[in-house]
Structure 1
Amino acid sequence: MPTPHHPDVVIIGGGILGCAIARYLSRLPGLNIIVVERHGLGEQTTSYAAALLTRIRPHQALTALAMETFRAIEEMGQASDEPLPLRSVGSLQVSAQPNGQRQLKETALRAAEAGVTAEQIAVQDAMKLAPWLDLTPDTAALWLPDDGYIDPYSLCMAYAAEGRHRGVRFRLKQSVSNLLMQGGRVTGVRLGHGEVLTAGMVVDAAGPWSTVLARQVGIHLGMAPVRSHYWISAPDARIPAHGPMTILPDNGAYARPEVGGLLFGLRDTQAVVADPAALPESLQGFRFDTDPAGERALEGGYTSLQSQLPLLDELRLAHYVSNVSSYTPDGFYLLGPMPGIEGFIAATGCSGAGIGMSGGIGRFISELISGQSTFVTPEPFRLDRFGAIDPFDSDFIHRCAEARARKRTG
């Protein structure tokens, strides 16, 4: 019978994925669940996310995961006194280049298959929706009115609140020093102060620290810590508070309103990565060794972005936000067990999409643990799909960084 020291499930990591998994597992009868978090809930990578929530993704399984997140947000809002702070402002995707226009057509087709509204609109209508844009007549524009963005910390706390209400216990300010293994099975964790928690299942949802933990039991997670970053301008009256998210595949960029100003992100065309073995215990205040203030990235992408967003010349930049995202070489996530090792499941490597996929990942992992048929196919997320790898090798780390540089979907 489970006891405080012998839970059924130990989840390592109290970010948005750990809390979402706890929320879904708490709905299963009789499970004893503990979440171990070295800091406070949602304080590390979660709170730094731009948190774009788009329903249509490049693969059917990813779309299903994203749709589940929207469903969870609505469900948790209905169960509370007030709805979650989802800004349902829609997303606007625009492109004047063949590759980007092909992406827009594919998105429209996938939206039709999923029953999601997606409308091709005129350039002038696009600029009315997002007055910070200046688009050429040959630009294609796709409007998805049901997309939005959310405060990621609030969403994380909502997952945690429901889990706590159903009996999930959160061990905060406590770290996991070791995964425990007997034979071919992970049997629990040892905490930093020496306490041992034995468990039937250990879930590694420790974000960029997942790699070092998994290596203790011979599991090599195919992901690397890659920079994600964005800038926020000072408030400007020309930025409407209810303007849409704009996704700009021609520039590898996105933008949306934020506290009266404009938040915009750019992809690094040259890899900016960290050594997974050298990450500090806390990412608050962390800066990458390369281009730590993002100046090189902004200079490199400025001219291209300014061609569609000329207002950039007149905005005063007020904030620069940089943090770690865990990218895989193919942009799919690391979800599920490692063949040959029992008692272990990973939920990490979300390639910049952790907020938008959180509800779907929570449901998927809970179905795996409970032995149910999963609502999405597990094949794209298998931990062993890259074969024999070394996630600490610089060549592999740069393969992961290239996946971020190729990303054009916000």
Structure 2
Amino acid sequence: MVEPPRQARVVVIGGGVIGCSVAYHLAGLGWRDVLLLERKQLTSGTTWHAAGLIGQLRATYNMTRLAKYSAELYDRLEAETGVATGYRKCGSLAVALTVDRFEELRRGAAMAGTFGLEAHVLSTAECLERYPLLNADGVVGGVFLPTDGQADPANIALGLAKGARQRGATILEHVKVTGVTARDGRVTGVETEQGPVAAEYVVNCAGMWGREVGRMAGVDVPLQACEHFYVVTEPIAGLPRLPVLRVPDECAYYKEDAGKILLGCFEPVAKPWGMDGIPDEFCFDQLPEDFAHFEPILEQAIRRFPALESAGIHTFFNGPESFTPDDRYLLGEAPNLRNFYVAAGFNSIGIQSAGGAGKALAEWMDAGEPPMDLGDVDIRRMQPFQANKTYLVARAREALGLLYADHFPYRQVATARGVRSSPLHERLAARGACFGETAGWERANWFLPPEAAARGEAAEYRYSWGRQNWFAHSAAEHRAVREACGLFDLSSFAKFRVEGPDAEALLQLVSANDVAVPVGRCVYTQWLNRRGGIEADLTVTRLSETAFLVVTAAAHQTRDLAWLRRHLPEGARCAIIDVTAAEAVIAVMGPNARAVLQPLTPQDLGNEAFPFGTAREIEIGMGLARAHRLSYVGELGWELYVSADMARHVFDAVLESGAAHGLRLCGMHALDSCRIEKAYRHYGHDISGEDHVLEAGLGFAVKTGKPRSAFGDFVGREAVLRRREAGLENRLLQFRLTDPGPLLYHNEPILRDGRPVGRISSGAYGHWLGGAVGLGYVPCRAGEPVEGLLSSAFSVDVAGTIVSAEASLHPLYDPTGARMRA
């Protein structure tokens, strides 16, 4: 039996392609005492039976960067290690069978160009030229990526393992990790069947065992194994070399290899597996055949690829792969355990992701912070409940199929719903709310008006790339906010109380703005990293001399709470408490907001008594609330923080009072369209840890001259000063399409004087401004005046159509902010 060393700098758990990549890249950065432990044999879990497709175009720029790096690494790995990886650039072709799918592909192709990836939009005839064995019946068009490829998955992993050993790493098979040890919130090593190993770092690359390994450390790693099917034919006479073919409308992909065809699928309703645990002896195992489950895919495939009809089936394969609730993998340091990192849950794209993910995680560990914006896959995006087994099984049935489903804008998941809801949920549902899901919260996205319900319309989505069925209803909500008043349920806001004698000092340390304000003041601020990038975008309200309330977006609850706790100095005299579920938040926004609320409270809501940016406790109806005068829509308004037990009463009182003032219930889509008109940033799209706070146009919220905290200068201060001195390299601009027809979502290319220079970071329809509106970064030359930048001719590529755009550095709607301060 193999005896592992008693100590290592880092222990990597799992010898699949991900674990081998992490070990390879850590060793490449010069780390010594890198130890990889594999419970059975390298590649024996999922890697050995992967299809080996190397696609590069992902949903965002950084994910595409990582996938491109994977392809580049595999291209040179054989020369470096001598292990034949089977990697070849054969290209990939995706074909569309519907107009909607073709628009999705065209938008992706336009986006690929801004990512530095070659992509060609093809007609039906051109698709046949690229793939002559295709039955083109029903094919609308396609997109070809010439630099995509395919490879031997197991040999890629073995090549990475050999490269890791050549760089000094130790890789041991048949060593099962049975526990993870920790002390004072920091990992200290692992337990194995052969004894303990002390370590400064532990990396969970355990694949479909990742959830269980996470539980050993007290870390939530939400993933679930599902059965994944493919068949391999007998050799087909005369079969030429072909690119990888994807027919997502038929849930199928085709890979030619050595004169055979591998046909795989991502069926709409998947089969979760291993719910009661994965057998301990699992090693290079297959799951029982289920031909009836695969048969509908095969029948469609025979029509699409007629050569299959006469081809014999050599292998019918069913093997497990792990999937996450949102089909994005899990990467990064655990939010609640220092130096415990995760790289797992790769949703059947582990081979194409392994090189880039391993590199990014190794650099993250080496520097102590991510090398780029990895928010798409950062494990801190997940909520604790999402590791619940019942939830994971329910969601996994849908998640696998969503990989090839139409990726319509605003698409909502259908499974594992109703986990978190506001105290107002039933009242909103009774009034026509159509709910979406964010971080498990059920949130009203739009409302079906009674007259529409009378016509037989339903409060449900009908998806498309154009104006969806809710567009007109949300436009009416938007106009109500601008002309009269709207009511939003924002109870899903994440809320943290920071209390104690050192609460102010802690918040001054992490906040770029000055939070040493009088009681009752609200401060808009960013939390920065050492590079001046934005880690959080939120408000801090002083409740008393020693108590503050931090309010941030629902989706960033885990991330922002972890960031705050990580910066709490040892011995600091304060506590951080998550109070998200304790209070509902009712936002009343619009020029009539004061008229709606004043009759309900004896407190004066006038501008002098209750100015913008302040918070007061008020009586409202027969209840109590804390009213914050803030706005994310750019209008006069208040956010009412009400204890959960009084929320329904306050809602009813506001609704009754608002009837005389044009009050309308509004959803999250209207909130988004109003905020984009005001050019308010959306974290995760417009701003991230990679975006400098000054280039994001948020310098007004940075106070470099504020008094030094008892714990030191605020994080990122030096980076802000350096950038101010050096000058900006990019500017975040607002764009409005001059043609009112096209719609913007995100990642549409921005052109300056006809040349691509950037991409739309977020977009929505500006119902008041009369056209689609987006935000996006544009490079600027050193010393270039803003007037020179804005005098350029800007346009946006919308699915291949160039649309002229008005550009502005300031909000196109109410640029002075006078309306919300009225």
TM-score normalised over the length of structure 1: 0.92
Tell me the SS of whatever aligns to 1:209: helix
- Please give the per-residue CA displacement for 1:180-199, whole angstroms capped at 9, x wherever unaligned: 12232221111113x11010
Q: In structure 1, what residue type is equivalent to 2:365? A: I
Greater shift, 81-90 or 217-226, is seen at: 81-90
> Which residue does the alignment assign to 1:69?
70
Q: In structure 2, what residue type is equivalent to 1:148? A: G
CA distance in 2 between partners of 1:246 and 1:388 (Å): 38
Greater shift, 73-82 or 151-160, is seen at: 73-82
Q: CA deviation at 1:382?
A: 2.6
Contact in 2 for aligned 1:276/1:392 (Cα 8 Å): no
> Which residue does the alignment assign to 2:497?
none
Q: CA deviation at 1:75?
A: 3.5
1:304 counterpart = 2:300: yes
> Which residue does the alignment assign to 2:60?
59
CA distance in 2 between partners of 1:44 and 1:360 (Å): 20
CA distance in 2 between partners of 1:161 and 1:302 (Å): 38
> Which residue does the alignment assign to 1:222?
222
> Which residue does the alignment assign to 2:352?
356
Cα gap change, 1:75/1:373 in structure 2, threshold over 3 Å: closer, same or farther? Answer: farther
> Which residue does the alignment assign to 1:255?
254
Contact in 2 for aligned 1:45/1:283 (Cα 8 Å): no
Greater shift, 362-371 or 302-311, is seen at: 302-311
> Which residue does the alignment assign to 2:25?
24
1:203 counterpart = 2:217: no
Q: Highest CA radius of gyration, 1 or 2? A: 2
Tell me which of 383, 388, 397 is aligned to 1:387.
Answer: 383
- Please give the per-residue CA displacement for 1:237-272, whole angstroms capped at 9, x wherever unaligned: 1422x2110011111110011232211112232220
Q: In structure 1, what residue type is equivalent to 2:232? A: I
Contact in 2 for aligned 1:231/1:263 (Cα 8 Å): yes
Cα gap change, 1:394/1:296 in structure 2, threshold over 3 Å: closer, same or farther? Answer: farther
> Which residue does the alignment assign to 1:127?
128
Contact in 1 for aligned 2:189/2:202 (Cα 8 Å): yes
> Which residue does the alignment assign to 1:329?
325
- Please give the per-residue CA displacement for 1:108-141, whole angstroms capped at 9, x wherever unaligned: 1122112222112343342243233110375202
Greater strand fraction, Structure 1 or Structure 2: 2
Q: In structure 1, what residue type is equivalent to 2:121? A: Q
CA distance in 1 between partners of 2:34 and 2:139 (Å): 55
Q: CA deviation at 1:27?
A: 1.5
CA distance in 2 between partners of 1:16 and 1:302 (Å): 29
Greater shift, 350-359 or 397-406, is seen at: 397-406
1:96 counterpart = 2:97: yes
- Please give the per-residue CA displacement for 1:280-330, whole angstroms capped at 9, x wherever unaligned: 13143342xxxx313122222234333422333222111012211111111
CA distance in 2 between partners of 1:159 and 1:79 (Å): 10
> Which residue does the alignment assign to 2:237?
237
5 Å-filtered alignment, 1:95-114, equals: 95-114=96-115
CA distance in 1 between partners of 2:385 and 2:90 (Å): 41
CA distance in 2 between partners of 1:105 and 1:11 (Å): 40
- Please give the per-residue CA displacement for 1:333-388, whole angstroms capped at 9, x wherever unaligned: 11011212112001101111110001111111101111265343122223242313
CA distance in 2 between partners of 1:82 and 1:383 (Å): 32
CA distance in 2 between partners of 1:393 and 1:294 (Å): 24
CA distance in 2 between partners of 1:132 and 1:400 (Å): 34
Q: In structure 2, what residue type is equivalent to 1:28? A: L
Contact in 2 for aligned 1:252/1:267 (Cα 8 Å): yes
Contact in 1 for aligned 2:179/2:217 (Cα 8 Å): no
- Structure possessing the higher relative contact order (Cα contacts under 8 Å, 6 or more residues apart): 1
> Which residue does the alignment assign to 2:623?
none
Q: Name the Cα RMSD after superposition.
A: 2.1
Greater shift, 246-255 or 262-271, is seen at: 262-271
Q: In structure 1, what residue type is equivalent to 2:270? A: A
Tell me the SS of whatever aligns to 1:199: strand
Give unpaired runs (5+ residues) of structure 1: none
Tell me the SS of whatever aligns to 1:284: coil
CA distance in 2 between partners of 1:184 and 1:80 (Å): 39
CA distance in 2 between partners of 1:393 and 1:59 (Å): 29
Q: CA deviation at 1:392?
A: 4.7
Greater shift, 225-234 or 128-137, is seen at: 128-137
CA distance in 1 between partners of 2:143 and 2:167 (Å): 41
Contact in 1 for aligned 2:331/2:343 (Cα 8 Å): yes
Tell me the SS of whatever aligns to 1:381: coil
Q: In structure 1, what residue type is equivalent to 2:269? A: Q
Q: In structure 2, what residue type is equivalent to 1:252? A: C
Q: CA deviation at 1:277?
A: 4.4
CA distance in 2 between partners of 1:219 and 1:189 (Å): 14
